Amino acid sequence: MKRLIHLLVLITFMLLISGCNRKPAIEPSGKKIKIGIIAAFSGADRVKGEEGVKGVKIGMQLQPYLDNGDGIELVLEDDKDDSTLTVKLLKKLAEVDRVSAIVTFSSSGQVLAMADVADTYKVPILAALATHPDTTEHNDYVSQLCFDDIFQGTVAALFVRDELLIDKVAVFADPDSYYSSNLAAQFERKFESIDGEIVDTIFLTGANEDVSDTLKSLRDKNTELLYLPIEADAVIRIIKAAESLGWKPKMMGSDGLIATVITKHKEELGLLDGMMATDFFHNDMPLTRFGRKVSAKYKGQGTSFAVLGVEGYALLLDAVIRCSDPEDRECINNRIRSTNNFTGVAGKITNGPNGKALRPLSINTIQNGRMEFVVKVY
């Protein structure tokens, strides 16, 4: 009997200890902290905005409150891929809505327009997708969540030259895209510096431009690889034209390619089999504990845009929590730019005083609609 009493006392004591160690639930304060979202929710780039916000909302499910119980209210604005409108929306969010910070899923051109006036409005802007290296230059309030084009173009060129042992490359670029033209230039610069030959640089000028004659010329020059930092529909058009010629050169795309094809051209996904692409993630990546929680919430086939949305929300919330006043924009901006080894979905992210993100890049092959890992570069 005494033994039974002792056992019951021990069990009761263990339950009390367990209850003491359990983190108490956050009690909502009833106050909302406004976070602005600028992205294209209409037009050709709308999938970036739609998928990015899908990721943000998953982040909100995982962490809906600050430590003090304040909730988050999203203020969504559609910039329609229009840089002039982007700047107007930045002003509205900063001066009318009084948001604490902004996450943008707009492309490099729109974010560069915001960067030009960011210091005027003094609201922290976290650019989830804009990879142009000038995004963080000459301003103190725009920070990148993604790697930039210098890193991406350099890694791609080194891999093609040193690992694939390819000598001759042709580069396709869109002259109307800051992202495409800059990434193409970064690749060319590095590839030629390590004794590679750029056979030709082809600037695409129209959505329905016939590239058959161009590809014939490149084939005749013994071109071994096509570097394609261009929109997904242009990549698909080039693949089809090459197939019609019976030519199968190696091809490499850039970040976001498969995410766009999955969301906009799923019926064409098989055409990408055998391609390579640089990106933030791959399908077989080992997930962090945070990444496993995200995966459990995610419905359907994931895209890099959505994953960056989750990470952008989580990193921004971490910065807000580290400020005594969650509406202190200057503090939030400083905390974003002092992010060290933040745990993302698949690895660590660091953001320094210059607003540049340090994070790994994956080179993947595309097979059966999946990005299969080849190498990761830090």
pLDDT at 24: 54
Cβ atoms of residues 276 and 363 within 8 Å: yes
pLDDT tens, 54-75? Answer: 999 999 999 999 999 999 999 9
Which residue, chain included where needed, has tokens 């001066």?
95
345 near 291, Cβ under 8 Å? yes
What share of the chain in percent tops pLDDT 70? 93
pLDDT over 60 (residue 112): yes
Per-residue pLDDT reduced to its tens digit, 143-156:
999 999 999 999 99
Instruction: Render 170-183 in DSSP notation, one character per residue.
Output: EEEE-TT-HHHHHH
Rounded mean pLDDT of 122-137?
97
Q: How confident is the model at residue 277 (pLDDT cuts 50, 70, 90)?
A: very high
Mean pLDDT across 229-236? 96
4-26 mean pLDDT: 49
Position 194 pLDDT exceeds 90: yes
The percentage of residues in the chain with a pLDDT greater than 90, rounded to a whole number, is: 86
- Any residues with CB less than 8 A from the CB of 268 and at least 6 apart, and which? 236, 261
Asked if residue 165 has pLDDT above 90, the reply is: yes
Q: For residue 363, what are its two tokens?
A: 């080179």
Tell me, what's the pLDDT at 20? 45
Look at residue 9 and tell me whether its pLDDT is greater than 50.
no
* Residue 127 or 298, more confident: 127
Task: Please answer whether residues 308 and 52 qualify as being in contact, where contact means their C-beta atoms are separated by less than 8 angstroms.
Answer: yes
The predicted-structure confidence for 264-274, as pLDDT tens digits, reads as follows: 999 999 999 99
**289 burial type by CB count under 10 A (0-12 exposed, 13-18 middle, 19+ buried):** exposed
Please list, in sequence order, all residues whose beta carbon lies within 8 angstroms of the beta carbon of residue 272, skipping any fewer than 6 positions away: 235, 239, 253, 257, 258, 261, 366, 369
Q: Which regions of the chain does DSSP assign to beta strands (E)?
A: 32-39, 71-78, 101-104, 125-127, 142-144, 168-173, 197-203, 225-228, 250-253, 276-279, 339-343, 348-351, 357-358, 361-367, 370-377
| Beta bridge partner(s), residue 172 | 202
Give the per-residue pLDDT at 284.
86
Q: Is the pTM of this model over 0.85?
A: yes
Q: Distance between CA atoms of 324 and 332, rounded to whole angstroms? A: 10
Query: Angle at the Cα of 372 (from 160 to 241), degrees rounded to 5?
Result: 60
d(CA 286, CA 135): 30
pLDDT in tens, 234-252: 999 999 999 999 999 999 9
Of 299 and 68, which is predicted with more confidence?
Answer: 68
pLDDT digits (tens, 9 = 90+) for 359-374: 999 999 999 988 999 9
- How far lies 88's CA from each of 46, 83, 99, 132, 317, in Å? 19, 9, 14, 21, 25
d(C-alpha 362, C-alpha 258), whole Å:
13
Whether residue 355 has pLDDT greater than 60? yes
Mapping DSSP to helix (H, G, I), strand (E, B) and coil, where does residue 228 land? strand
- What confidence score (pLDDT) does residue 79 get? 98
d(CA 63, CA 305): 19
pLDDT exceeds cutoff 90 at 132? yes
pLDDT category at 354 given cuts 50, 70, 90 is: very high
Tokens of 202: 């082809």
Band (pLDDT 50/70/90 cuts) for residue 192 is very high
| DSSP assignment string, 237-296 | HHHHHHHHTT---EEEE-TTHHHHHHHH-GGGGGGGTT-EEEES--TTPPP-HHHHHHHH
Q: Which residue, 151, 146, 94, is CA-closest to 124? A: 94
Q: In this model, does residue 335 exceed pLDDT 50? A: yes
Residue predicted with more confidence, 181 or 285: 181
Alpha helices by DSSP H, listed for 122-256, are 149-158, 178-193, 212-220, 232-244
